[in-house]
Structure 1
Amino acid sequence: MSRGDTAARRLYAWEDAEVAPRDLSRVPFAQLQALVDHVWAAEGLRFPPRIRPLPRQARATVARATRLAIEAPAELPTWVLLHELAHSLTSTAEGTNDGHGPRFVGMYLHLLVHHARMPREALAASLEAAGIPFDPAPRPAFFG
């Protein structure tokens, strides 16, 4: 998660206001893979992305993800891990992804509701109020 592009900045502002206050939990690096494996299996999927250390030179990046890997620091808020998992789910092994588009936001919302027990109606209403479009029924990108 980098704080660079415009769509990302809008989403990050929404996260800071709506998501972060609802989840103060932090996961140490040593436990991240187990959580990723759990979420992936709960979604009915196999072959989860692998957790790798975030390179030290990535100073402006909180974490980042592709379909195959999530790079993370020594500790990560749970909601940030779910954000990165949404990127993994909306990316393919070939590198295509939805960025911070409607499929990604819908998938992220789904993960927040099902794995962090956040209120769907309140989050969906706040996304709409912020003008952030989301797919109400997202599917992983690699499902075709």
Structure 2
Amino acid sequence: MKRDRQRARVYAWEDAHVAPHGQDLLPFAAARPMVEAIWAEMGLRYPPAVEPLPPQSRRVQADANRLRLRLPPQWPSWLLLHELAHAMTSTHDGASDGHGPRFMGLYLQLLERYLRLPAAALAPSLAEAGIAWDPAARPIFLDPA
């Protein structure tokens, strides 16, 4: 399994530059319609299933892959966008970009579109944090193998 080299840097950057802009807590019931709408607006079909995060989960706030997105009973809007970027950068067989350049590129596209945080304004903070991102990123399952 490939090491997720940017993970800690992405979480620290997110805490400083994204979380302050999305403090609103949304109920779990809002997740499915939002996932379906965002997925469709991104030109994608077959969104991941939305499931509750198991109550015994202590190490993660949420998680996602191509087939499933799991959230707690309440969650900030930026967290859903983070997990959707994971779903878009994972395949049904478990291959994933982790928190790599493709993930970050899609995450920034989602942040710009749905939280109105311009990628151009966030780019300097990404460079300062040493986080690579691909501005032309597309969901992994849209690219030919």
The corresponding residue for 2:86 is 87
Q: CA deviation at 1:119?
A: 1.9
Q: What CA distance in whole angstroms lies between the structure 2 residues aligned with 1:21 and 1:119?
A: 15
The corresponding residue for 1:16 is 15
State the identity as a percent. 52
TM-score after normalising by structure 1:
0.93
The corresponding residue for 2:116 is 117
Q: CA deviation at 1:8?
A: 1.4
Q: How does 1:58-137 map to 2 (within 5 A)?
A: 58-137=57-136
- The one-letter amino acid of 1:123's match is L
The alignment covers a number of residue pairs equal to: 140
TM-score after normalising by structure 2:
0.92
Q: Runs ≥4 in structure 1, deviation > 2 angstroms? A: none
Q: Deviations over 1:6-51 (max 9, x none)?
A: 5211101000100011222221000101111111011011111111
RMSD: 1.1
Q: What CA distance in whole angstroms lies between the structure 1 residues aligned with 2:126 and 2:60?
A: 24
SS in structure 1 of the partner of residue 18 of structure 2: helix
Q: What CA distance in whole angstroms lies between the structure 2 residues aligned with 1:7 and 1:132?
A: 6
Flag structure 1 segments of 5+ consecutive residues without an equivalent: none
Q: What CA distance in whole angstroms lies between the structure 1 residues aligned with 2:21 and 2:66?
A: 27
